[in-house]
Amino acid sequence: MEHYNMNLTLKVWKQKNNKDKGRFETYKVKDISSEMSFLEMFDVLNEQLIAEGKEPVAFDHDCREGICGMCSMHIDGRAHGPWHETTTCQLHMRQYKDGDTIVVEPWRANAFPVIKDLVTDRTSFDRIIQAGGYISVNTGNAVDANSLPIEKQKADEAFAAAACIGCGACAAACPNASAMLFVSAKVSHLALLPQGDPERKMRAMNMVNQMDKEGFGSCTNIGACEAECPKGISLENIARLNREYLGAVFSGSSNE
């Protein structure tokens, strides 16, 4: 792979806190290596700002290997930037060329209020899981793991849904700011497994209700969520959630 350096212009959202209105600031960065990750380019920007005695840009990040779901930038109008099935931390600068201008914003959704700059509050996702995204089993009384064979294809499908990293790109990409892909991934993961069966109706109802309560919008089958999901979570999960939800509604809502 050939390496090269580039100079870039960045238009970055700056917002002091939740009360501040916010605005774009323009920054220039020089000698960015094509081998850097996008967040390493932001490290360079922040070190430069600190050296100038200015305040750096706040952004969320942690594992930097595409799995924790903490990083969350909206880059040139795309959640996690232009690469397919890629988190911001795994986007690398060989995507860009000398002289490019890049616009970076936080997730935009009412249920993800901005804390500062590019950092948003995603605790609404935790509360959706609290509404039913689990199997009610206490520690210590499980039977032998192989006493319950599960069809490989089902297990693989459940895994594919469970691969969701809870980053919020689906809601950020959706024009309605719907969190249906997130909710459906969890409902699918658990509904596909026999262990999840006893609570499946209540789970679908309660998680969808909580999603509405948090201020996420409705799903109108646009598909932007699937297109932007860094883990390739499929729209089929939403279809499954709809079946689960309707089934729960028509059968009298809960598991009594």
Partner 1 sequence: MPLNSKIPAGELNKKWEDYKSSCKLVNPANKRSLEILVIGTGLAGASAAAALGELGYKVKTFCFQDSPRRAHSIAAQGGINAAKNYQNDGDSVHRLFYDTIKGGDYRAREGNVHRLAEVSANIIDQCVAQGVPFAREYGGLLSNRSFGGTQVQRTFYAAGQTGQQLLIGAYQALERQIALGNVTQYSRHEMLELVTIDGKARGIIARDLVSGKLERFFGHAVLLCTGGYGNVFYLSTNAMGCNVTAAWKAHKKGAFFGNPCYTQIHPTCIPVSGDHQSKLTLMSESLRNDGRIWVPKAQNDTRKPGDIPEEERDYYLERRYPAFGNLVPRDVASRAAKERCDAGYGVGASKMAVYLDYAAAIERYGKIEVGKQGIANASKETITQLGKDVVKEKYGNLFDMYAKITGENPYEVPMRIYPAVHYTMGGIWVDYELMTTVPGLYALGEANFSDHGANRLGASALMQGLADGYFVIPYTLGNYLADDIRTKSIPTDHPAFAEAEKSVSDRINKLMNIKGKESVESFHKRLGKIMWDKCGMARNAEGLKQAITEIQALRKEFWSNVFIPGDVDEFNPELDKAGRVADFLELGELMCHDALNRNESCGGHFREEYQTEEGEALRQDDGYMYVAAWEYKGESQFELHKEELIYDVVHPSARSYK
Smallest gap from residue 73 Cβ to partner 1 (A): 14
Comparison of 103 and 129: residue with beta carbon closer to partner 1: 129
240 binds partner 1 (CB under 8 A): no
Footprint on residues 188-207 left by partner 1 (CB under 8 A):
189-190, 193, 195-196
Footprint on residues 52-81 left by partner 1 (CB under 8 A):
53-56, 58, 60-70
Q: Which span (118-126, 169-177, 216-224, 245-253) binds partner 1, by CB under 8 A?
A: 118-126
The token pair that represents 33 in the structure block: 């290596």
Distance CA 213, CA 167 (A): 19
SS (H, E, C) the chain: CCCCEEEEEEEEEECCCCCCCCEEEEEEEEEEECCCEHHHHHHHHHHHHHHCCCCCCCCCCCCCCCCCCCCCCEECCEECCCCCCCCHHHCEHHHCCCCCEEEEECCCCCCCCEEECCEECCHHHHHHHHCCCCCCCCCCCCCCHHHCCCCHHHHHHHHHHHCCCCCCHHHHHCCCCCCHHHHHHHHHHHHCCHHHHHHHHHHHHHHHHHHHHCCCCCCCCCCHHHHHCCCCCCCHHHHHHHHHHHHHHHCCCCCC
Smallest gap from residue 182 Cβ to partner 1 (A): 12
165 binds partner 1 (CB under 8 A): yes
The token pair that represents 244 in the structure block: 């689960």
Comparison of 112 and 245: residue with beta carbon closer to partner 1: 112
100 binds partner 1 (CB under 8 A): no
Footprint on residues 7-36 left by partner 1 (CB under 8 A):
16-17, 33, 35-36
Smallest gap from residue 98 Cβ to partner 1 (A): 17
The correct pick among 21, 152, 250, 256 for binding partner 1 (CB under 8 A) is 152
110 binds partner 1 (CB under 8 A): no
51 binds partner 1 (CB under 8 A): yes
- Binding residues for partner 1, rule CB under 8 A, total 78
Q: Rounded to 5 degrees, what are φ and ψ at 75?
A: -115, 120
235 binds partner 1 (CB under 8 A): no
Is the separation of the CB atoms in 36 and 29 below 8 Å? Answer: no
Comparison of 40 and 176: residue with beta carbon closer to partner 1: 40
Smallest gap from residue 26 Cβ to partner 1 (A): 19
Comparison of 191 and 235: residue with beta carbon closer to partner 1: 191
Is the separation of the CB atoms in 135 and 195 below 8 Å? Answer: yes
Comparison of 132 and 217: residue with beta carbon closer to partner 1: 132
Smallest gap from residue 11 Cβ to partner 1 (A): 21
43 binds partner 1 (CB under 8 A): yes
